[in-house]
Structure 1
Amino acid sequence: MEAGSLFALLVAAGLYMLVYLVLRARSGVAGTWLELQGGVVVLKTRRLNRLVEDVGKKYKRLMGLVGDLGVVTGIALGAYGVFFLHDNLFKLLTASPGASPVSPLVPGVTVGLNELAYFLLAVAVTLIPHELSHAFQAAAEGVRIKSMGVFLAFLVPGGFAEIDEDELDSKPLRSKLRVLAAGSFANIATFLLLVALFYLVLFTPLAPRPNGVLVSGVIQGSPAFQRLQPGDVIVAVNGTPTPTLEGFSKVMERSAPGRLIKLTVMRGSVLVNYSLVLAQHPESPGRGFIGVKIDQSYSNEWLYRAFWWMLVVTSSVAIINMLPIVPLDGGKLLSYLLQAVAPGRASKVAVWACSAYMLIVLLASMATSAGVFGLAPLTP
């Protein structure tokens, strides 16, 4: 973890504990706009209840059609999530190609300080449609809305739409499923909208374009050490423009140890020239070596990063939320389905057994992923 990210994490943890202790010391906290529930700080409001209920009831028929589509979509998302976790865990355990990292998004740990603003934007774009969709669908099905809000659980943000669970339990199965699937359906709809917007942006001047080779790290003792630094963008080698990784690699393939090269580097908004004597490449004798870790740099990279985080978070929440794990919506949906088919203790045991099994698979995926990929902050 970078020093800046570690410092930010410690500061955030300190502020979190301060709020926690203040709320714990207060008497009669329950019922206020700011609450402490276990170790979770909760910010909630009832001011939106009337508006949400009016809209839900006014468009009840439309919400019914959307709700049915949401149920089908939600079940498909849950099934895909189960398949993906098993398939990916197998790839991780067998070191097969194509394995993907499975990691919780924790600010300061897997979300670096430089990505925090994009992450928070993605959280907002994910939570607002998710919780509003739950609330609108509940109102359309005649279920009372108690409150809506956000929470912070050990630095991990989240949101909620608090509905009357007793009223939901008394509704027909179809209504229950509509309400539970509404959040993930809103997320996958948001995901598809973002994909469409991103492709539209590609045809505008704002489209991110390759504009150089980003230096993401410098190897100690290499020719680049104490010359280049993370964040630099190499835009030319010996006067030859290198806007892409491929172009940069082709230039370096023609280099040799001991040769003097000139790098044109963009540092912030300033162009800087460096002359370096190449070392021998540790993995390819006869080839020159600068000693940097590189990534592709883009113009308008902020836009690319914003879209990347929004797409990752919205799609991840849509799928994970529909996994058959109680208390996720997917677990509750499975519970209602099994109770309708086989009421009684057997269905409850089946739900908890399924939840325990899938939770083990999820945790095993995270642990194995951490061993394979580490817990380095995620980057686009």
Structure 2
Amino acid sequence: MNVLWYYAIAFIVIWVLALLFKDKLKIDINGPLLMRRTGRMRDLIDRIAQKSPRFWRIFMNIGIPVAVFFMAYTFYLIILASTMIFQAPQVVPILPGVDYPGNPLFLPLGYGLIGLVTVIIVHEFAHGILARVEGVKIKSIGVLLFTIIPGAFVEPDEEEVKKVSRLAKLRIYAAGSIFNLSLAAIALGILYILSSFFIPAAFHSEGITVTSVVPKSPSDGILKEGMIIYNINGQDIKNITEYAQLRNNTKIGDILTFKTNQGTFTIKTLPNPNNSTLAYAGFRSADNLVLNKGVSNTYGDIIPWILFYLKELFTWIGILNLAVGTINLLPIKPLDGGLIFEELLGYKLSKETVRPIVNTISYVLIAILVVNIVYGIGRGILLSI
């Protein structure tokens, strides 16, 4: 079954239950948004904040210029993307488990959901911790659902936030993204260690595995997820690097013959949805890993594969926290980046001058993002028909 059907079924089930048990579970329904507030976890946030408030202030004093750097860099990337919207959309939403033509990245369902949970929890708890460090009361904590997209929130008292110093506000606003970027750095560091030392010592590659097939692509209905490809057009393929070299030399309209563990299959390449000058087969792949001799005898079969799955998990935790952390720093209100930008301008300019500047930049960036997303998804849907 297409993953989108699972999303649709989950949407119906969750919203029916929310409507039926709205009062009992104390769920607020605001248009497409479900929210459930609670006072729980506030004590935990208080304990973390008060254990070492000086550390958190120093950490965020370092984090503020980091946040400003990523704000400027992400702003530059979005402006650059605006010049290439109709060549290839640079900003495309990615749902866990959903693949379509033109989607530059496929996010596996399980890893994606776990990664998004880490993004949300770390981000919101960070705001809560720094709010309490600065003496701001937390009104509520809760979980939310925007149509089918889960989330969480920590709601500081806005009136108390207004009363703290400008530097304290910057610490609170920057905390979410800085914690996301910090977790991304930790995850990618662990990934580097696993990929550089443990995985090569435990595994070697024999061919490539088809990890997913893009719907309505040349490979759709021919190749299948889980197939192992050993040879393409008479050339042995030992790993993903060798496949990438062959793919780079493939032209539009070329016939590719795949020898796999499930038989021999042939496809004809088409223009790539992201770049019409490149050939496109329409499947994603990874190294087909096999345990090295002697590894099973020493460590068994389970431990090496646990390390492999941890590598995959930390890959997506790192990527998602990096992506969300940086995008959230765009100078767009009400994103954290917009709030930081507004406070920075407020050091030298009056509120009457700051407000139109921030609003104008917000509208321009939102327009660029919307055009990218609508064009990217629309083109993907048209290619899937």
TM-score range, shorter chain: 0.7 to 0.9
Is 1:140 aligned to residue 133 of structure 2? yes
How far the C-alpha of 1:242 sits from its partner, in A, is: 2.9
1:337 is aligned with what amino acid?
Answer: L
Structure of larger gyration radius:
1
List aligned pairs for 1:202-351, cutoff 5 A. 202-206=195-199, 210-215=205-210, 216-217=212-213, 229-235=224-230, 242-245=237-240, 247=242, 263-265=259-261, 272=262, 274=263, 294-298=283-287, 299=289, 302-351=309-358
Q: 2: CA distance between counterparts of 1:356 and 1:183?
A: 23
Aligned match for 1:119, one of 106, 112, 118: 112
Cα 1:209/1:156, change in 2 over 3 Å: farther
Q: Tell me the matched-pair count.
A: 341
Distance in 2, matches of 1:53 and 1:125, equals: 20
**CA distance in 2: counterparts of 1:58 and 1:228, whole angstroms:** 55
The 3 A distance-change label for structure 1 pair 177 and 241 is same
Describe the shift of the 1:107–1:242 C-alpha distance in structure 2 as closer, same or farther (beyond 3 A).
Answer: closer
Moved more, 293-302 or 68-77: 293-302
Distance 1:129 1:279, change over 3 A: closer
Contact residue 84 and residue 90 of structure 2 kept, 8 A? no
TM-score w.r.t. the length of structure 1 is 0.75
Q: What code does the residue aligned with 1:214 have?
A: T
Q: Provide the residue aligned with 2:9 in structure 1.
A: 11
- Kindly state the Cα deviation for residue 238 of structure 1 after the two structures are TM-superposed: 11
d(CA) in 1 for partners of 2:269, 2:92: 33
Question: How big is each residue's C-alpha offset from its partner over 1:224-267, in whole Å with a ceiling of 9 and x where there is no partner?
Answer: 998853421123579986322565677xx9xxxxxxx99451xx
Distance in 2, Cα, partners of 1:238 & 1:354: 52
- 1:56 deviation in Å? 1.4
2:93 is equivalent to residue 104 of structure 1: yes
Cα distance change, pair 241–10 in 1 and its aligned pair in 2 (3 A) = same
> Is the aligned partner of 1:71 residue 2:79?
no
- Write out per-residue CA displacement over residues 121-180 of structure 1, whole angstroms, 9 at most, x where no aligned residue: 111221222122111111111111222232110111222111111111000100001000
Residue matched to 2:146: 153
- How big is the alpha-carbon RMSD for the aligned residues of Structure 1 and Structure 2? 3.9
Distance 1:110 1:70, change over 3 A: farther
Q: Is 1:137–1:179's contact at 8 Å kept on the other side of the alignment?
A: yes
1:116 Cα deviation (Å)? Answer: 1.5
Asked if the contact 2:97–2:108 (Cα under 8 Å) also holds between the matched residues in 1, the reply is: no
Equivalence for 2:359: 352
Residue type at the aligned position of 1:116 = L
Q: Evaluate the alpha carbon distance shift between residue 319 and residue 43 of structure 1 in structure 2; reply closer, same or farther with a 3 A threshold.
A: same
Cα separation, 1, equivalents of 2:10 and 2:327: 26
Q: What is the CA–CA distance in structure 1 between the aligned matches of 2:195 and 2:241, rounded to whole Å?
A: 21
Measured in 2, the distance between the counterparts of 1:6 and 1:219 equals: 12
Moved more, 210-219 or 325-334: 210-219
SS at match of 1:91: coil
Equivalent residues in 2 for 1:40-59, closer than 5 Å? 40-59=33-52
Which structure 1 segments of 5+ residues have no match?
A: 254-260, 266-271, 284-290
Distance 1:313 1:174, change over 3 A: same
8 Å Cα contact 1:143-1:168 kept in structure 2: yes
Q: 1:348 to 1:117 in 2, by over 3 A?
A: same
Change (3 A) 1:346 1:22: farther
- Is residue 85 of structure 2 the alignment partner of residue 92 of structure 1? yes
TM-score, normalized by length of structure 2? 0.74
Change (3 A) 1:196 1:15: same
- Output the CA distance in 2 between the equivalents of 1:238 and 1:322: 47
- Counterparts of 1:338 and 1:219, CA distance in 2: 47
